Amino acid sequence: MFEKLLAKKYIFQQKRHSILTICSIASALALMTALFMLFSTLLSCMHDVIYDNAPYHYKIINLTKDKAESLLNLPEFDCNMIIEKDYTCSVELLLKNYTEYDYLADLDDYWKNYEINPEKQIEKNRILITLDMKDVDARAEFAQIFAVFYIFVIFLALLLRLVIDTAFEISSKERERQFGVLQSIGATSQQIVKIITFEGLMLSAIGVPVGTLIGTGIGYIAFQAILSSGIAEACLTDGQESLLHYHVNIILLIIAMITGLAWVLFSAYGTGMRVIRMTPVQAISNRSNQIIKVRKFSLTGLLFGWKGRLASGNNHRQPKRFIITVLSLMLSMVLFASTSIITEKIGLAMDKTLEEVYGYVDLDIMCSTLSSDGADGYFNIVRQVEESPYFTNVCAGINLVGKKEDTLVMIHYVNENQYLQDFKNNPPVSYQELNQSGKYLYASGIPLENDVYSIDKSISYGGDKSGFQDTDITYPIFQKTGIPENFKEYYHNSEKYVWLYAPVELYQNSAKDLYELSRYSGDFTVMLTDTKDHDKAVAFLRDFNLEYIMDVYETHHQEETILSAVRIGLNFLNIMFVLIAMINMINIISTGIVNRKSEIASLQSLGMEETQLYSIMILECFEYALTAGGFSVILTEFLLFLTGRFLKLFEVYDGDGSVLVSMDGMISYTEPLPRLLIAIILAFVIAFLSSLIPLRIMQKTPITERIRSVD
Amino acid sequence: MEFLRIENLTKIYGTGENQVKALDHISFTVPKGQMTAVIGASGSGKSTLLHILGAVDTPDSGKVYLDDQDVFAQNQKNLAVFRRRQVGLIYQFYNLIPVLSAEENMTLPMLMDGRKPDPAQVDEMLSLMGLTERRKHLPSQLSGGQQQRVSIGRALFTSPAVLLADEPTGNLDSKNSMEIMALLRKSNQERHQTMLIITHDENIALQCDRILTLSDGKIIHDVMTGQGGSSCLKNY
């Protein structure tokens, strides 16, 4: 067959083009395969973790041992009996085959035969059933997940096809004249199409497997990068890390290869069909019969005159390609700009929520004592914590709440760290001065007439205050007053209140006797001296048998880890889009230059200077970058708006529905603009280089040869 | 009075055994306003001569003087300026810019020169070329004859000193060919432009003032026809 022979000859003679086409096929396949493998790995990891937590589709609980043993031979299931902590027995069931029924919702009679009450005795593991696709609903749910993924893949695949398409076009454009000659000496259109299609087939024999292999490798690297964020340790229980492994799904691998091969054949066939639309004379003389539709109006033309008009006309010769390139550029720009902003904002929102909920962000662990030794026990624990090498900035305080008529009285005995933290290192009186005076600092509340304040009702929080109940206690008040940070935010309801601060030594020296507390609980917060000692520090605290330990560091760490994993995933996606966009743009722009070889020479023969030629190229690239950039700004702003709505989910409300933690002001619509500007400049530079290089090469050929388009 | 002077022009393609002398030490002069036909077999060097005269190609040796100015003594930038101001090029396949309308194609050399076309001049040229109704059409929306008229309009628009046409009627039927030649002749007479026309068509050649015949890169005949002066034959 001469078609095969010629296809082979072309491949070996046009080594540069063949390598470019193979690289395009391989890169397209690599990106698609990597995405497929990451998807299958995600599903596989989800499946394994869920199976590890609950290795059943259905579980029958609250059974006696005899009953459980009698259920081990259910024909539809693989059964496993387990003994629970409360010594009851359970049977874990895994469906052997696909079923049309939901065994929990649809088959009451089935269970009644075995004297089991499905409502009370059966637990269903819906996610595992879905991932195993074991029933009708599961298949529908799985189809939904896959559909969302596939829509994304289809979009990606369309962009990738363009990469392959342009590679073929570049290669065949160079040979249009030869195809014209072949046709003129008797080759049929079908034979020309066959030559190009065979060529595509032969090139994909290398490009497809190489791309698949590289894609599997890229997927593995991306997976390892995500794991390196520590997400497994942060989100899974001990031992489950080993369940996370890279999963090469053969079916998806084959789908990727078939899709890639199909794209190559479509591209080759499409290119062949385009070539044969020209008559042999047109092909030989490099005169296309393609009708060019040019827009009547272009902004570039309006702004830059005839150069702009030429540039815009050139860009819009193939509107579909222009749109797809702009679209892929736009997506990569938006991802580039929004990835960091969105993750940063979510991180900030989480921090803000933690700050408001726990009071501060500059703490790692918050503890509350449950000491039956009274205040002595509390102070003993605080002292040991302060002396421990694991902690720094130990903030301790005792809160007492009392009532005087309709006024709420808060007395806060604090150590120096807590005092300074509450007043943000700027207290109205120094801790030492307050301590030496033996007085209370009137922080805020109803106006005072004298330098004393007294309450006569029992303290409602902090333990047994029997000796205090009917005693009218007078507090000497320091003349200066101060408002601790966030004070009003905590108490902005209409209730009257008085807030008093005192050094913790005052409590130890006098208040303890005054209140005669027999049982006492107090809070303290710490920061870790070295986060590496986190586990040891927590273990140290656990030895005190505290009421609770709120591990804010762990929460922070988890949050950071999840954000880091999300960031890695988004960046991987971003790199993929950037690569596709760049390959597309480079291909399209350089093809555009090659295709206009004769036309550019004509312009030069009419007297166009090189600088004018480069100006037109700059305007073409400018239009690409600016169009994509303009749409990117719109899309990014829209995404930011959606992010703002999403952040509202992190807002914290108090009982009466008013906002305690507001996310207003977290979104700045001007923030992505500098990043987008960088992306636009980057796109412009790459676009210009893509046109400059072929143009410089082209300039080495005399104008007369280029006008004739001699191969 | 000689306007265009060619001295010992040589152009060689290839090297060694593959060397082809496209132009072999040719010399001739053309007076201002003369319409000269260049004929010859394929590969005789006609197009090479035209391209060198239009400064789109460079000679290996020899000189081209236009109005006593050495064309190739100029740098690349000035050569480009020379092409758009002094030369009008007409190709067999028109070489129009497909994304520009007939009017824009016509005015392109002037736009390149940073000048604003005079609307009255544009209208006049469109009218002269019979393209008034088609001024906004793209080349793909025009017939071959119309496209060639756009190409001629483009070549004439800047009123160049020399007009070079490479088989301007080679792609047209006889009716269109006659119209195109009439246009060129009219422009030659009215604007007193010097013209060199490459053609294979004897009838076209006979409409010119002079016929140069090239063979293997040399001028073998130089004939003055009855059109513009006395008929004489100069043998080389």
The helix (run of H) or strand (run of E) holding residue A288 is: none
Choosing among A598, A605, A608, which should be mutated to test the B contact, i.e. which has the most B CBs within 10 A? A605
Q: Does A703 touch chain B (CB under 8 A)?
A: yes
Say yes or no: ipTM exceeds 0.85: no
Local confidence band at A704 (pLDDT 50, 70, 90 cut-offs): confident
| DSSP-assigned letters across all residues of A472-500 | -EEEEEEEEE---TTHHHH--SS-EEEEE
* Lowest mean per-residue pLDDT among A79-83, A274-278, A453-457, A589-593: A453-457
Q: Does B98 touch chain A (CB under 8 A)?
A: yes
CB contact (8 A) between residue A607 and residue B76: no
Q: Which of A569, A162, A146 lies closest to A335 in space, CA to CA?
A: A569
User: Does position A637 have pLDDT exceeding 60, yes or no?
Assistant: yes
Q: For residue A609, which residues of chain B lie inside 8 Å, CB to CB?
A: 76-77, 80-81, 112
Residue type, position A88, single letter: T
Choosing among A606, A609, A623, A701, which should be mutated to test the B contact, i.e. which has the most B CBs within 10 A? A606
User: Beta-carbon neighbour count of residue B221 at 10 Å?
Assistant: 15
> Which tokens belong to A288?
């296309």
User: Does position B231 have pLDDT exceeding 50, yes or no?
Assistant: no
Q: Nearest chain A Cα to B55, which residue?
A: A605
> Which tokens belong to A320?
């579909």
Of residues A493 and A423, more confidence is placed in A423
CA distance A275 to A193: 8
Give me the residues of A, 275-294, that contact B with CB < 8 A: 285, 287, 290-292, 294
Cα distances (Å, whole numbers) of residue A678 to A300, A630, A682: 21, 13, 6
Helices (H), A596-671: 597-605, 610-647
Q: Does B117 touch chain A (CB under 8 A)?
A: no
pLDDT-above-70 percentage for chain A: 79
* Helices B174-191, B144-157: inter-axial angle, 10-degree rounding: 10
Q: For residue B95, which residues of chain A lie inside 8 Å, CB to CB?
A: 598-599, 602, 605, 707
CB contact (8 A) between residue B85 and residue A608: no
State mean pLDDT over A308-331: 81
Q: For residue A309, which residues of chain B lie inside 8 Å, CB to CB?
A: 99-100, 104
CA distance A577 to A325: 11
* Lowest mean per-residue pLDDT among A54-58, A178-182, B94-98: A178-182
Local confidence band at A405 (pLDDT 50, 70, 90 cut-offs): low
Strand runs labelled E in A167-294: none
pLDDT-above-90 percentage for chain A: 7
CB contact (8 A) between residue A605 and residue B99: no
Q: Per-domain residue ranges for chain B?
A: 2-235
Q: For residue B138, which residues of chain A lie inside 8 Å, CB to CB?
A: 292, 294
List CB contacts of A368: < 8 A, sequence separation 6 or more: A521, A522, A523, A546, A547, A548
Residue of B77, B87, B97 with shortest CB distance to A599: B97
User: Does position A392 have pLDDT exceeding 50, yes or no?
Assistant: yes
Of residues A688 and A185, more confidence is placed in A688
State mean pLDDT over A504-526: 68
User: Does position A420 have pLDDT exceeding 90, yes or no?
Assistant: no
Q: Does B42 touch chain A (CB under 8 A)?
A: no
Q: Nearest chain A Cα to B115, which residue?
A: A306
CB contact (8 A) between residue B108 and residue A306: yes
Q: For residue A703, which residues of chain B lie inside 8 Å, CB to CB?
A: 51, 56-57
Which residues sit opposite A398 in a β-bridge?
A: A413
> Is B79:B55 a contact under the CB 8 Å cutoff?
yes
Cα distances (Å, whole numbers) of residue A361 to A394, A469, A526, B65: 14, 37, 11, 85
Q: Per-domain residue ranges for chain A?
A: 1-54+126-290, 56-124, 293-359+553-711, 370-546
CA distance B164 to B87: 7
Of residues A111 and B214, more confidence is placed in B214
Residue type, position B162, single letter: V
> Is B177:B169 a contact under the CB 8 Å cutoff?
yes
Q: Does B138 touch chain A (CB under 8 A)?
A: yes
CB contact (8 A) between residue B51 and residue A310: no
> Is A446:A390 a contact under the CB 8 Å cutoff?
no
Res A546: pLDDT: 84
Q: What is the CATH number of domain B2-235?
A: 3.40.50.300
Q: Is the pTM of this model over 0.80?
A: no
Q: Is A239 helix (H, G, I), strand (E, B) or coil?
A: coil
Average pLDDT, chain B: 87
Res B29: pLDDT: 94
Res A486: pLDDT: 54
Which range scores top for mean pLDDT: A449-463, A484-498, B32-46?
B32-46
